[in-house]
Amino acid sequence: MLSRAVVAATSVVSVSAGNPKFWGLKKLSSCSLCSSSSWNLLCNRSWNTNKCRRMANYTTRALAQPLTDADQLIYSVETFIFDCDGVIWKGDKLIDGVSETLDMLRSKGKRLVFVTNNSTKSRKQYGKKFETLGLNVCEEEIFASSFAAAAYLKSIDFPKDKKVYVVGEDGILQELELAGFQYLGGPEDGGKKIELKPGFLMEHDKDVGAVVVGFDRYLNYYKIQYGTLCIRENPGCLFIATNRDAVTHLTDAQEWAGGGSMVGALCGSTQREPLVVGKPSTFMMDYLANKFGIMKSEICMVGDRLDTDILFGQNGGCKTLLVLSGVTSLSMLQSPNNTIQPDFYTNMISDFLLPKVATV
């Protein structure tokens, strides 16, 4: 059992860049316009009575407690938002007890929503994956970061005569098409090569008004250079990332380099930071709350990552539950270096089936 010591655990996402009308940031209550041209995770500040040099955005948060009374948590919220990788499945393998847990929550009248930072699939494609795994989940309950990228562009009235260059996979292309946006890039550019000859100049489409970067198993130098040229040379071109996850679960055998590695390549070449539409940005949380008419205080975010899932819930003002079935271990949670503390933690979501859960 962890003690009730108090630690600092706050992280605030802010954004600015370019013309605020073009960005449409006034529509996003979770964002604030700053003079910097990047998204920043503001550092946690510690109190020092005599030597306090800089104090800002300081919030105290109690250490996470083991989930010992699942019924109480279930009763206290209306909606559960679940991450997918590491919570519902690992790779293509369903985690034990998930189906029974979801059925139980539905029987109690709870709304279930599934939010994933994985942009390789569209909502429709994820619906088929849920079906393949034997889970009854409708498309309207699924929100992938591929969808978030298209939804964000719609929210800012991205010009329909502008194009989107995609460093990513088919999921992003499908969502952009459904939203009515012109796009290029994606898997089609995965086989393209650049022949570097003396005096060679690579051309790019001057009508590209946004570059969207997501997880891309076919990333190559052509895509990096094309995206770089659009961002650096096209006036007002947006740099959007679906997520910055360091690792992902492509299989249940090990962790694999995540979308953050692809985003990092463009950050390095453009010297710009992206606008992130996936977790922990609250764009999707605001979108869900507005779509379903949910009070954020009546939501519980359930995930396996501290810096995305749990921070996503905390930034949105929700209750948070960390499951240890994915990326985060108990030792990582309890590390003195960890400043992100969920409200509760437990082994896996099937612990919801037990009225009194054994201490982890």
**CB-side neighbour CA atoms (13 Å) of 229:** 14
Structure tokens at 348: 């896996």
| Cα distances (Å, whole numbers) of residue 162 to 24, 305, 358 | 16, 35, 55
Q: Kindly tell me the sign of the dihedral angle through the C-alpha atoms of 66, 70, 76, 82.
A: positive
Report residue 114 as tokens: 């599934």
- Phi and psi (nearest 5°) for 154? -65, -40
* Tokens encoding 217: 């198993």
Residues 6+ apart with CB under 8 A from 256: 247, 248, 249, 250
Look at residues 358, 321, 325 and name the one whose alpha carbon lies nearest to residue 341.
321
Whole-angstrom CA distances from 79 to 153, 190, 285 are 26, 40, 12
Q: Could you say which DSSP state residue 351 is in?
A: G
CA gap 110, 53 in Å, rounded? 47
Q: Which three-class secondary structure string do you get for 275-305?
A: EECCCCCCHHHHHHHHHHCCCHHHEEEEECC
Beta bridge partners of 319: 300
- Residues 42 and 314: their CA atoms lie apart, in Å, by 14
Q: Which residues are catalytic?
A: 78
